[in-house]
Amino acid sequence: MNAALHSTAVPKTPRFRPKVALAMQDSDLRDALFSKRLRSRLESICDCDFSLVIQDFKATPDEAIEDVDVLLTGWFSPRIDATVLARMPRLRLIAHAGGSVKGHVLPECWERGITVTTAAEANALPVAEYTLGLILLAGKSTMAASHLYTQRQTKIDRELEFPDSGNYERSIGIVGASTIGRLVLERLRPFDFDVSVYDPTISDAEALRLGARRLGLDELMSGSDIVSLHAPVLSGTVNMVGPAQLAAMKDGSTLINTARGELVDHNALIAELKSGRLNAFLDVTSPEPLPAGHPLYTLPNVLLTPHIAGSMGSELHRLAAYAIDEIERYAAAAPPRFPVGLTDLVRMA
């Protein structure tokens, strides 16, 4: 079995049975996160009322949360602030079945000594897999070949029409050595790619350990056949791929964005795409969704998908499994595997 799919919990007899409450968007998300097997596994190590999904702490009676030891949170969990903490004196762990916790875990939680964990790595895995797929498809000129075949509806001479296609010694540029960026770099290793990375927070030596050469952003943009974005949205990264960076990209090269739409100047990108000079695989945009009639919906050199790179369908079960692992470790008095510190918030999406 793939190591990423099985439990990483410490095989140790639980010290006690904690009481767990669910806090997330709604019962539909609860049902998507927990398979029967995962629900059974959680119930074997703790007391959890699955009929209660906290969407608003103000609407939740005190008796439902006053003796809760663990909050298992999901997307769009209500905020956990000082007022909530005052009503939950026994709370010791917030196990998030998702990526970023900055939307619902307030600094007061760390100030009170509560352990916070995330399933960010579990959510990063499908994004990295999806990105690898897009890189391989881009290298084979898949989008252009499909359009041409559909248009002509006859034999296509591959070597005549796509002489520069192929994935041997293709130049790949990764922007951001984030959790996802590192997973993508790891998955690129078996291929015959020339890989570079831009991230001002890492050294040349660390980049080499990741299997890439560290370059400046402009140098990476101009030297890569395919550029894939994996940086967080910070004050210094909004529109980091602007007119100058896009103009520097090679004719026929491809921009992949599975991170955040805010990283790219969309007006500049649309201008380059309309010229036919570049290609783009976009799973995220700004705004999201785009308004009806937006040119990105119809440009032939754009593959536009509705934010599907992250966990969806069966992949949501992995998020719940990671959160259950952390609860099992807590019940066994073992350290968390994926803790989040207050200082980590600035790097989260």
The catalytic site residues sit at 260, 288, 307
CB 185 within 8 A of CB 210: yes
- In whole angstroms, what is the distance from residue 207 CA to residue 133 CA? 22
Residue 146, Cβ neighbours under 10 Å: how many?
13
Measure the CA–CA gap between 315 and 221, rounded to whole angstroms.
32
Tell me how far the alpha carbon of residue 55 is from its chain's centroid: 23
Q: How many residues does the chain have?
A: 349
Chain centroid offset of residue 37 CA: 25
CA separation for the pair 8, 232 (Å, rounded): 27
The residue among 186, 143, 193 whose CA lies nearest residue 172 is: 193
Interatomic CA distance for residues 248 and 221, integer angstroms: 6
DSSP conformational letter for 78:
P
**Residue of 347, 343, 310 whose CA lies nearest to 119:** 310
Neighbours of 108 (CB within 10 A): 15
- Using CA atoms, how far apart are residues 53 and 77, in angstroms rounded to an integer? 10
